[in-house]
Structure 1
Amino acid sequence: MTQNDLRRMFSARAVRRSPWRAAAETFCLLCIAVLAVTPLAASSAPARRAAIIPIHGVIDTILAHTVERRLEDARRDGINVIIFEMNTPGGGVVPAVNICRMIKNLPKDTLTVAWVRPEALSAGAMISVACQKIYMSRASSIGDSAPIIALPTGPVELGPTERAKAESPVLQEYRDSASANGYDPLLCRAMVTLGESVWWVEKGVERRFVNDDEKKKLIDDVAEADRAWSLVTHFVDPISGARRELQQPIDGPTTLLTLSQSEAVAFGLASGLASNESELTEALNLAWEPKRLDVSGWETFVIWLNSPFVRGVLMAIALAGGYIEFNNPGLLVPGIVAFVALAVFVGAPYAAGLADAWTLVALVIGLLLLLIEVFVLPGFGIAGVTGLVLVGASLIGTFIPRTPGDPPFSLPDPNLLWNALQTGVLVMSSSTVAAGIGILFLMRFAPHLPGARRLVLATPSASMTPAALSSDRGAHVGDIGVLVTPLRPGGQARFGQRIVEVQGQGSFVDSGARVQVVAVEGSIVYVRPVEELV
């Protein structure tokens, strides 16, 4: 066999093996490509970055503003898993609905989780159901969402019509959340409204919740031999793994549905249990523990300043300080304290984003009218009355919260208006009474307190004459002087060689007119034109 024959033989064998070799090579290349692309695809998938936003305490408009701020911070940080740590007894319907809408308007690729730790009641339950998943901590509860009218004097009993009206927006929010996130609408409804029972029934492995009418059709009206459905009698406790007996109905016509952690998981409302951040991180399959976005120190301070008690104390200080300064001009300290207290009283709602711009405008106009009445116009007329009304309305108006996102000078939410007005009136009335008591206390005890004797006048003794009382004022009762400035109604008058600050008691008086001192009260010297006394 020649060399050429050998070449031809091996070439023929190579040709005969080439299809298998080609298939094997192709298969190997595909495997290598898959192994190479898989890590690349995994690395290109967006990482799940999580953050915890605590919602603790009573849910109000200020808390809703802090949630809005923290959600914006999460968005800027690229967070795509937002966990709301719920520990709240409830709160206002309007701020809770606003928070629900914030949650639902997050980007579609954002996973929202409610972590009930340890309670999400009333408005807290509504916010939890707005999230795509719910996790319960051990020894936690969720539910009890019936709306109530809570006034400063206590809750108000609602009639059937009022209750239906109050429940309507809450039920609508629950329906929308249940539909979007796959929660049972009957369970959600049972948290809000009375008069209905909820039963848990099963057929084989299928289980569902029904009301009285459905139970009647599925069980009560069907012969026992033909029944496909029956009441669930036991469920597995997710904590202990033991079978627990179930009381039926799970919610009666006179109660509001409130679920424990075990019931929430067994009924399918909650996705699981997590008592700490590590367990929650594992349950959500996160690469690392989430960061916390807490309420800032400034926000905590503003929340404290906006509490009705603190605002009441501020107003009482402003009223008492203003009264002391008015009756003792020149002391300065009471006036400065009153000004600062009033500024904080008015500024706190603006710092929290609550008060509308109209309250500030009304306050400025009211104060200007009062100044015009004191220094320009005689007596106490339309300008003074209008100024007092505007100042009072503006101060009470700072209790009416502004709806987040509304432009300035918008009408307030009617669901908040009446309650806010009652709170404002109650705080202002209580402050006035407290200021009066404080002033009486100072009048009674300040003369005997070191360093406080200048705040009020001491009670005159029998040996003190009117002249002695007014000698340090530069004028005595009965003295006659000449106005060196117009009296509107305040001004200056010359008594001999002394120029004294005086206060009129009637109409406007031009400079140069002769006036007589008719009374001296504290540092205030009251005068009237001599012609009026003839």
Structure 2
Amino acid sequence: MFLINFVYAKAEETGSLESIFSKDYVFSILLIAAIVTAVFEVLTPGFGIFGIISIASFSAFFWGAIKMGNTNIFEISLFVIGLLLLGFEIMIPGFGVAGVSGIIAVSAGLVLSMRDIYFALFSLALALVIALVLGYGLVKRGIKSEAINRLRLFKESSSDKGYVSVKAAEVSPGDVLITKTPLKPTGYAILGDRKIEVVSNTGFIGKDESVVVVKISGARVYVENI
């Protein structure tokens, strides 16, 4: 919340918020803060302070852009649509068209909302570099995120916990499994005394439900409700 307090403190010094948002660097600071904290929020479990700061920073960014006449419903719509696409991407396995389209839409909405396009592109690139570097540091320190697990279709498993690879489990299409965890759409199912990572072909499937293996692609086991 430091950035929000900073903006209001500066506004008191200069007499108005409009005078603060007339400075391009203010938008740059808000943009960097919003993106970096958004990445931190994704990489950490639950919803916490990083999410609050990110929402506050994005809100201040667009409020200032509207006040200065830099943006309208088109840019805001691009940003919102991009967020929805990214949210949809997190809920489905892999990283595909929705994720790429979401990133492009969010980036376009942010860049077009700043007065100087070149400075906006520089600010966005700087924000992404900082976010990637800090995010990489978090991942290297062992931070785990359910959202990232869904994007990567990966969850660390070990034999001492009963988790086995697809090859070791020797599953095949037609095998019937019982879900150990909810499939959203990834999760775990039981085959005998073994737990196997599976992907639902039919969206959400609850825990302790019977599913059938319909396809195996590489290390991915796709299942459907019976």
* Larger Cα-atom Rg: 1
Kindly report which structure 2 residues correspond to 1:23-102, keeping only aligned pairs within 5 A, or say none: none
2:57 is aligned with 1:341: yes
1:89-136 C-alpha deviation (Å, 9 max, x unpaired)? xxxxxxxxxxxxxxxxxxxxxxxxxxxxxxxxxxxxxxxxxxxxxxxx
2:17 is aligned with 1:298: yes
Partner AA of 1:398 in structure 2: S
Equivalent in the alignment of 1:366: 82
Equivalent in the alignment of 1:327: 43
Once the two structures are TM-superposed, the CA of residue 351 in structure 1 deviates from its matched residue by 2.6
2:185 is aligned with 1:488: yes
Equivalent in the alignment of 2:167: none
Q: Which has the higher contact order (CA 8 A, sep 6+)?
A: 2
When residues 352 and 481 of structure 1 are mapped into structure 2, their CA distance, relative to the original with a 3 A threshold, is: farther
2:110 is aligned with 1:395: yes
Q: Distance in 2 between matches of 1:336 and 1:391?
A: 18
When residues 514 and 331 of structure 1 are mapped into structure 2, their CA distance, relative to the original with a 3 A threshold, is: farther
Equivalent in the alignment of 1:424: 120
Q: Any gaps of 5 or more consecutive residues in structure 2?
A: 1-13, 145-155, 165-176, 191-196, 214-218
Q: Distance in 2 between matches of 1:341 and 1:509?
A: 33
Contact in 1 for aligned 2:188/2:198 (Cα 8 Å): no
Kindly report which structure 2 residues correspond to 1:491-530, keeping only aligned pairs within 5 A, or say none: 511=205, 512=209, 513=211, 528-529=220-221
Contact in 1 for aligned 2:37/2:53 (Cα 8 Å): yes
Q: Distance in 2 between matches of 1:379 and 1:440?
A: 19
2:163 to 478, 482, 504: 478
Kindly report which structure 2 residues correspond to 1:374-453, keeping only aligned pairs within 5 A, or say none: 374-375=90-91, 378-400=93-115, 420-439=116-135
1:453-490 C-alpha deviation (Å, 9 max, x unpaired)? xxx649xxxxxxxxxx979xxx947169616644335x
1:12-40 C-alpha deviation (Å, 9 max, x unpaired)? xxxxxxxxxxxxxxxxxxxxxxxxxxxxx
Q: Distance in 1 between matches of 2:200 and 2:104?
A: 22
Q: Any gaps of 5 or more consecutive residues in structure 1?
A: 1-294, 401-419, 448-455, 459-468, 496-502, 516-526
TM-score normalised over the length of structure 2: 0.57
SS at match of 2:46: coil
SS at match of 1:422: helix
Q: Distance in 2 between matches of 1:380 and 1:439?
A: 18
Once the two structures are TM-superposed, the CA of residue 387 in structure 1 deviates from its matched residue by 2.1
Q: Distance in 1 between matches of 2:62 and 2:220?
A: 38
Once the two structures are TM-superposed, the CA of residue 426 in structure 1 deviates from its matched residue by 1.1
When residues 329 and 441 of structure 1 are mapped into structure 2, their CA distance, relative to the original with a 3 A threshold, is: closer
Q: Distance in 2 between matches of 1:313 and 1:477?
A: 47
Give the percent of matched residue pairs that are identical in Structure 1 and Structure 2: 22
Q: Distance in 1 between matches of 2:30 and 2:65?
A: 13
Contact in 2 for aligned 1:487/1:508 (Cα 8 Å): no
Partner AA of 2:128 in structure 1: T
Higher strand share: 1
SS at match of 1:529: strand
Partner AA of 2:179 in structure 1: V
Equivalent in the alignment of 1:231: none
Q: Distance in 2 between matches of 1:484 and 1:440?
A: 28
1:176-224 C-alpha deviation (Å, 9 max, x unpaired)? xxxxxxxxxxxxxxxxxxxxxxxxxxxxxxxxxxxxxxxxxxxxxxxxx
When residues 438 and 357 of structure 1 are mapped into structure 2, their CA distance, relative to the original with a 3 A threshold, is: same
SS at match of 1:368: helix
Contact in 2 for aligned 1:506/1:528 (Cα 8 Å): no
Once the two structures are TM-superposed, the CA of residue 432 in structure 1 deviates from its matched residue by 1.4
Equivalent in the alignment of 1:309: 25
When residues 484 and 429 of structure 1 are mapped into structure 2, their CA distance, relative to the original with a 3 A threshold, is: same
Q: Distance in 2 between matches of 1:505 and 1:314?
A: 38
When residues 493 and 371 of structure 1 are mapped into structure 2, their CA distance, relative to the original with a 3 A threshold, is: same
When residues 299 and 311 of structure 1 are mapped into structure 2, their CA distance, relative to the original with a 3 A threshold, is: closer
TM-score normalised over the length of structure 1: 0.27
Report the aligned-residue RMSD: 3.9
Contact in 1 for aligned 2:201/2:222 (Cα 8 Å): no
Matched pairs, number: 171
1:35-55 C-alpha deviation (Å, 9 max, x unpaired)? xxxxxxxxxxxxxxxxxxxxx
Q: Distance in 2 between matches of 1:481 and 1:317?
A: 44
1:331-354 C-alpha deviation (Å, 9 max, x unpaired)? 512222222222222332113232
Contact in 1 for aligned 2:183/2:199 (Cα 8 Å): no
Partner AA of 2:18 in structure 1: E
Contact in 2 for aligned 1:379/1:505 (Cα 8 Å): no
Kindly report which structure 2 residues correspond to 1:114-125, keeping only aligned pairs within 5 A, or say none: none
Contact in 1 for aligned 2:43/2:143 (Cα 8 Å): no
1:470-519 C-alpha deviation (Å, 9 max, x unpaired)? 79xxx947169616644335xx6678xxxxxxx9778555623379xxxx
